[in-house]
Amino acid sequence: MASPALASEPKKKGGGEGYTQFKTINVFTAASRRRHGTMSVDMGLYSDDPKLVDQIKIFQPRLQDAYLSRLQAYAGTLNSTSVVDTDFIAMQLQSATDSILGRKGAKVLLGTILLN
């Protein structure tokens, strides 16, 4: 005889309740002999303010587009021997975030940055 299933609390997603994960952003780097490279960035936003977390979710497509534009402009200056400036990337993404959300309070958290 099977025992009854007990309801459990919903599992907390990675990064906590105030964390919003974004899809991996892939952009092209400078061409070299008809070949191009790619830069991939995993990132998310964190905020303690539940209203701002809701706003982030609403504006996620616009944020993703702004991040893609900023990263593509930066990646255009890179080649296969370049070293990625993570501080510059974080600053650019934070600037785009603050601009689109219209206020500060959401913190850009970078995960993996891969230059291939």
pTM recorded for the entire structure: 0.82
Kindly report, residue by residue over 88-111, the tens digit of the pLDDT: 999 999 999 999 999 999 999 999
pLDDT band at 1 (very low <50, low <70, confident <90, very high): low
User: How many angstroms separate the Cα of 28 from the Cα of each of 37, 96, 113?
Assistant: 6, 20, 13
Q: Residues 45, 97: contact at Cβ < 8 Å?
A: yes
